Amino acid sequence: MPPFAVIPGAQVQRALQGRERGIVDLVEATYRLHGGGETVNPPSYFLRFPDRPSSRIIALPASLGGRTPVDGLKWISSFPENVASGIPRASAVLILNDPATGYPFACLESSIISATRTAASAALAAHRLSSGRPRPARVGFVGTGLIARYIHTYLTATGWSFEQTGVYDVSARSAAGFRDYLEQSQAADRITVHDGAEQLIRSSDLVVFATVAAEPHITDPTWFTHHPLVLHISLRDLAPGIVLDSVNIVDDTEHCLKAGTSPHLAEQHTGRRDFLAGTLDDVLAGRVAVPGDRTVVFSPFGLGVLDLAVGAFVHDEVARSGELNVIDDFFHELRRHG
């Protein structure tokens, strides 16, 4: 009888807590598998609604090879209006499938897994893409929701400390909430809440975009003349001119040049792709060197294989602890002819 388990958010959180360095290593190994052709990661499918244009649900099917293969699907909703009613924008489940039989064997709460893999990828990129420059000591967050919090947690848990932390959000409530989190985490010496993005960008060596902007709102290339490292997690903040002025690293070229991302707009603007320097895997493998004296922009589209890797880790941890919540007889029609 194929087993089927349900793993709620509290178990997911417990399995991941305090494991930040290990998760960054896992995400790095997964990028290497992906770069080495040992994954299948088709384009994400965007379900959109004519009557609810700001909302979407994305399907990310994927298959991860390597020593412990697993297949699966992340199904993640983004409803930005949720925030006004006091619940997070994103909600998600992750289904893990057995690569031998195809049977689903687990359903995991996945907003935590998704935020975790995104933050681990950002911390990995910050580390690797800054190796040719003085370690950034002034960080700035544009957009300060749940993803910004996870990224800050992952940066500090993997050895980063900052002399100065800049905060900007169009919502004063979000900025205040993030400031409270920073103060409680005691990881920031000096916190400045800005009333616009310009001063934050000009005074940061590491800039994190985690907004829900649908179109570029950062258009002036002179804000970047000090050549910061930019983690462009929300993908649609930068005008094409800023992308074209920068060294661009993506997670996957085909994925990232889609869905109206800033690199996609830059491609449409120029008819070229040569403004992309390479993928994070190219950097990890030493095929691409990242200059220390240019603005570097990391735009990760977000790969389903990362969710699978982190989800399988969580499943195995919960199983090891003996607390796996197996739903007995979930699959019922198991004799073909009755």
Ligand X SMILES: NC(=O)c1ccc[n+]([C@@H]2O[C@H](COP(=O)([O-])OP(=O)(O)OC[C@H]3O[C@@H](n4cnc5c(N)ncnc54)[C@H](O)[C@@H]3O)[C@@H](O)[C@H]2O)c1
Q: Which of residues 102-161 bind ligand X (CB under 6 A)?
A: 114, 118, 142-148
Residue 35 C-beta: closest distance to ligand X, Å: 17
The answer to whether the beta carbons of residues 275 and 229 sit under 8 Å apart is no
304 binds ligand X (CB under 6 A): no
166 part of the interface to ligand X, by CB under 6 A: no
Q: Which of 100, 2, 37, 63 minimizes the C-alpha distance to 312?
A: 63
- Looking at residue 91, its amino acid is S
Structure token pair of residue 72:
């699966």
By Cβ distance, which residue is nearest to ligand X?
145
Query: Which residue of 34, 74, 89, 179 would you call a contact of ligand X, by CB under 6 A?
Result: 89
Residues binding ligand X: number (CB under 6 A): 31
Shorter beta-carbon distance to ligand X: residue 15 or 306 = 306
Under rule CB under 6 A, residue 302 binds ligand X: yes
Bridge-based pairing of strands 104-109 and 5-7 is parallel
Applying CB under 6 A, which part among 9-17, 37-45, 87-95, 285-293 lies near ligand X? 87-95
> Is the CB of 4 or the CB of 20 nearer to ligand X?
20
From 228-236, 269-277, 284-292, 327-335, span contacting ligand X (CB under 6 A): 228-236
56 makes contact with ligand X (CB under 6 A): no
Minimum distance between the CB of residue 98 and ligand X, rounded to whole angstroms? 26
Among 116, 165, 211, 279, binds ligand X (CB under 6 A): 211
Q: Contact between 210 and ligand X (CB under 6 A)?
A: yes
Options 59, 170, 244, 284; binder of ligand X; rule CB under 6 A:
170
Q: Does 279 participate in binding ligand X (rule CB under 6 A)?
A: no
Q: According to CB under 6 A, which one of 127, 217, 269, 294 is a site residue for ligand X? A: 217
Which of 72, 140, 228, 300 lies at the binding interface for ligand X (CB under 6 A)?
A: 300
Residue (5 or 281) nearer to ligand X, CB:
281
Give Rg (Cα) of the chain.
Answer: 20
Give the residue, chosen from 193, 212, 244, 285, that forms a contact with ligand X under the rule CB under 6 A.
212
Applying CB under 6 A, does 39 fall inside the site for ligand X? Answer: no
Contact set with ligand X (CB under 6 A): 78, 80, 83, 88-90, 114, 118, 142-148, 168-171, 174, 210-213, 217, 233-235, 300-302
